[in-house]
Chains A and B, each alone.
Chain A
């Protein structure tokens, strides 16, 4: 009988056979294109054909001031967006974690921006940001903060900030939901013990809740950094990277080069930079995750 069970649980060839279809699919649609992107980045590929050009795409890209500006801009955009998502998400989670009436309804109501197709949510934001007829400009004009119509997406700085806000709007619900789940996973007896010792609500938050959910906070900051870095639709729909390049991030620039101008080679070189940065993020993320797990198991 033991023998028979052993054969049931240790059929490696069956295990591989079951995974094979999914693995092949990923190889064909994700892994192979990744390698192909790297190859293309050394060519001048376009709709007309392609020739090997060595490092020309990279040299041109790295020596251009514009590209360096784009990289800096990407990180500034990312920094503000991720920080805001985490701060607002944490505050939101604390508020929705309070044991008050209606919290289960609020918890459902946080999620629409996350669930609804981004493109549709952005249609709403396009209308909100409308300089003449939108509600934000309207409130600004009526309160006297603005002295006339103001197109939020038409000026460099305001477009930069507006796209960040829209990105925060899309990303915050997920952060909130994960923080909330983490807070509910904190053992209740920790709070009860602290309460008996006379710790204030404030103390309990900073001495118990925050340290307990730190691993999730770190995980979510890296994950949101990765998603924010990849954010395409929000900027593309609101500004297409404009005005005059003010909201062109690396992803937008890659898309513009490759599929706006059909310069596949140049686009691919940018995509490779994106890949390298993402790989760094991912490595950082996995290393940090391993360290946190180790620390927790030591305690």
Chain B
């Protein structure tokens, strides 16, 4: 089994892009993310941030740059390592 096949098993939803969450209680509106990944992070007025929690993989480099640049480290991007997704999310 190749590594990518392994990842596919572990991470069935990677094909749906990456997962991002910004802790807006930490965010102070420095807008560094909106500079570096303008398609995923947008300033709403001078200080308020809105973001795409599920940007497509084409934006991965920009989003990682944005997350690293956050002066208050408020941006969490899904770790690439395996995740136990509740595939069988049912009333079995």
Partners in one complex: no
* Chain B interface residues (CB < 8 Å from chain A): none
